[in-house]
Chain A
Amino acid sequence: MVCAANGVSFEIPGGKTLGLVGSSGSGKSTVARCITRVEKPDAGEIWMGNIDIARLGSRELRPVRAEVQMIFQDPSTSMNPRMSAAEIIEEPLLIQNRGTRDERLSHAAELMKEVGLSADWLPRRVTEFSGGQLQRIAIARALALGPKFLVLDEALSGLDLSTQSDITDLLRNLQAAHSLTYLLISHDLGLVARLAGLIAIMSAGRIVEKGPTGEIISNPTQPETRVLVAAAERFRTALAQAKGASA
């Protein structure tokens, strides 16, 4: 039996971002799946406002599911390639029985524009969009039910840097516009440092260190944190050491 998450505790103030950072296998995705109740935790509490969602049954969870949404790493595996952008974004509204057909379509058009895509592209199939565009559609889908809390599970990994930069800006703007709370899960400390004011470092199922991002990164006390900081600083250190023919 493997304990994927062990005694994990953290708090995220409303409207803020917590970065959950750790190497592969540290348990970050397990935490994400428990918080979104894709999995039921074996023990512990998950407080959203004044409701502990860890123990709720599926019927009681229904309204909660509208409040908490997740964006996944690879849009090509989190979206049905045969569906159109409109169908992708409307799906949560259908599941929760919200609005008439026209209302859903009009809401989808607004969301497309909000994530920086043209509403004219709604009829296009998933296969016709680039990776970055698909993540924008995933964000639009996540916002469809007006959630308060978004879990971003490696949502920016593997994207081109310019796409990562644009989507980071988008997420920041959306957070301000809708007072969203984010749990940003990533192995990329550089990315997390740009978006998250708070950070928690995970290793082997436990949180080894947590606090304000600037403090943790500039004064890591745990060896696991030091390893992550050193790896993330590779670019800077490598440039300073100057590999290749001298200038």
Chain B
Amino acid sequence: MKAMPQALLQIRDLTCRYLPEKGKPVVALDDLSLSINCGEVVGILGESGSGKSSLAAAVMRLLPTSAECHGSVFFEEQDLLAMYEPGLRRVRGRSISLIPQDPASSLNPVVRVDTQISEVLRAHLRLDRGERKKRVLQLLQEVGFDDPERIASCYPHQLSGGQRQRIVIAQAIACRPALVIADEPTSKLDPPLQAQILTLMSEISRRHGTTLLWITHDPATLAGFADRIAVMHQGRIVEDGSTTMVLRRPVHSYTRKLVGLSHEFALDSSHAVDGVVHAN
């Protein structure tokens, strides 16, 4: 079965099960299909246990060895599920990269920032030392640092949480991948910082045509950021539509519940009453 030419990523009938040593297999992804076009910013919306992180891991072929997958994941017309490790290593970090949830645990605390970004370049691109150094500074500037030279020589613990997240983003975009998958990268950051990171990613996507798959439990993150939202529940996609449609006129009961909660938690300063603020 060949993939359709316009789609960058085509997931077809993907089923993934975790097979524990004891007990029954757990179905993480259940016959899931999703098609993503070049340059799109797609939000994957779901709560814990919906399978959203398993989806990211399945696409990157980073599920544990005890997991079993069926179906196909076409990326640039190659089925990633049919590929072996050497081929996958050329894809990961180069054509598809991952921004994980917790930047602190994905940065090496004893290695300088410039070395950590450089590592990604060395793994995939043929650049000499001078070109790599230049590229590292360019990337640091691109992710919003005004003083890239100083940041380059820092260690992760010398930077704030928001700055560390920007370093991880610099690593993720270093080789100009066609697809960046982000797994809840802003859920622990404060709202102004969250907004900055989303603006940064929008610019990067616009400037380089990078396709983004943004995984989150919070509909508010996707408003004004994603073009499209696919809602996940119990390993399946239960709703898939433009952001406007999904957030303004959700159809599936689960989507309605999530969007409803977002409205409840949303701040509306024009409706402040007697010391308690109501969003409705």
**Residues of chain A having any CB pair with chain B under 8 Å:** 23-25, 130-131, 157-158, 160-165, 187-191, 193-194, 197-198, 212-215, 217-218, 227-229, 231-239, 241-247
Cβ-based interface call for B66 (8 A): no
Return the 7 tightest CB-CB contacts between A and B, nearest first: A238-B224, A187-B190, A238-B223, A231-B191, A235-B220, A214-B272, A193-B277
Give the CA-CA distance A130 to B49 in the complex, in Å. Answer: 10
Question: Known: A165-B261, A245-B242. Is A234-B227 also a contact (CB below 8 A)?
Answer: no
Give the CA-CA distance A185 to B164 in the complex, in Å. Answer: 23
What are the residues of chain A within 8 A of B276 when measuring CB–CB? 193-194, 197, 213-214
What are the residues of chain A within 8 A of B272 when measuring CB–CB? 213-215, 217-218
What are the residues of chain A within 8 A of B242 when measuring CB–CB? 244-245
Q: Chain A's nearest CB lies how many Å from the CB of B226?
A: 8
Q: Name the residue of chain B whose CB is nearest to the CB of A220.
A: B269
Q: Name the residue of chain B whose CB is nearest to the CB of A157.
A: B188
Q: Chain B's nearest CB lies how many Å from the CB of A230?
A: 8
What are the residues of chain A within 8 A of B248 when measuring CB–CB? 239, 242, 247
B267 near A243: Cβ-Cβ < 8 Å? no
Give the CA-CA distance A185 to B266 in the complex, in Å. Answer: 18
Give the CA-CA distance A204 to B64 in the complex, in Å. Answer: 43
State which residues 234-249 of B face A: CB under 8 Å.
242-245, 247-249
**Residues of chain B having any CB pair with chain A under 8 Å:** 47-49, 160-162, 187-195, 217-220, 223-228, 242-245, 247-249, 257-258, 261-270, 272-277, 279
What are the residues of chain A within 8 A of B275 when measuring CB–CB? 197-198, 212-215
Q: Name the residue of chain A whose CB is nearest to the CB of B229.
A: A244
B190 near A24: Cβ-Cβ < 8 Å? yes
A24 near B193: Cβ-Cβ < 8 Å? yes
Q: Chain B's nearest CB lies how many Å from the CB of A152?
A: 16
What are the residues of chain B within 8 A of A162 when measuring CB–CB? 47, 257-258, 261
A194 near B188: Cβ-Cβ < 8 Å? no
Residue from B162, B224, B257 in contact with A243 in the complex, judged by beta carbons closer than 8 Å: B224
What are the residues of chain B within 8 A of A24 when measuring CB–CB? 160-162, 189-190, 193
Give the CA-CA distance A38 to B189 in the complex, in Å. Answer: 24
Q: Chain A's nearest CB lies how many Å from the CB of B101?
A: 9
B262 near A235: Cβ-Cβ < 8 Å? yes
B187 near A190: Cβ-Cβ < 8 Å? no
Question: Known: A165-B264, A187-B190. Is A247-B249 also a contact (CB below 8 A)?
Answer: yes
What are the residues of chain A within 8 A of B263 when measuring CB–CB? 235
What are the residues of chain A within 8 A of B49 when measuring CB–CB? 130
Residue from B224, B265, B267 in contact with A164 in the complex, judged by beta carbons closer than 8 Å: B265
Give the CA-CA distance A242 to B223 in the complex, in Å. Answer: 8
Give the CA-CA distance A130 to B242 in the complex, in Å. Answer: 31
Give the CA-CA distance A23 to B263 in the complex, in Å. Answer: 22
What are the residues of chain A within 8 A of B220 when measuring CB–CB? 234-235, 238
A243 near B244: Cβ-Cβ < 8 Å? yes
